Amino acid sequence: RGEQHNSGVIGRTVQEIELPEGPPIGAIVRGEEVIMAHHDARVQANDHLILFLPDRRHIDAVERLFTRVAP
């Protein structure tokens, strides 16, 4: 879950998020709504992203992306 104070993805579009290998973001869950993760969908605070990682070796890198503050 992205929280404003600790996430490097808040306010960015799906296309702007640099994830390893392929199209791993499948959907954004915002409250009770499930949003298809189109390239122009913007991540908001408290969104939950559904990711598909083809390789477990990328888990640490993805976790770091979601827990750092954007520059």
CATH of the domain at 19: 3.30.70.1450
- Mean of the pLDDT values across residues 43-58? 88
Question: How many domains in the chain?
Answer: 1
Q: Is 33 in a helix, a strand, or coil?
A: strand
- Give the residue numbers spanning the domain of 31: 14-66
4-25 residue pLDDT tens? 555 788 899 999 988 877 657 8
Residue 62 has pLDDT above 90, yes or no: no
Please check whether residue 71 lies inside any domain of the structure: no
Question: What is the rounded distance in angstroms from the CA atom of residue 35 to the CA atom of residue 12?
Answer: 15
Question: What is the rounded distance in angstroms from the CA atom of residue 31 to the CA atom of residue 26?
Answer: 16
26-48 residue pLDDT tens? 999 999 999 999 999 999 988 99
Question: Which pTM value belongs to this model?
Answer: 0.75
- Greater model confidence, 70 or 26: 26
Q: Let me know if 47 is exposed, middle or buried by CB neighbors in 10 A (0-12, 13-18, 19+).
A: buried
Work out whether strand 48-51 and strand 33-36 pair parallel, antiparallel, or are unpaired.
unpaired
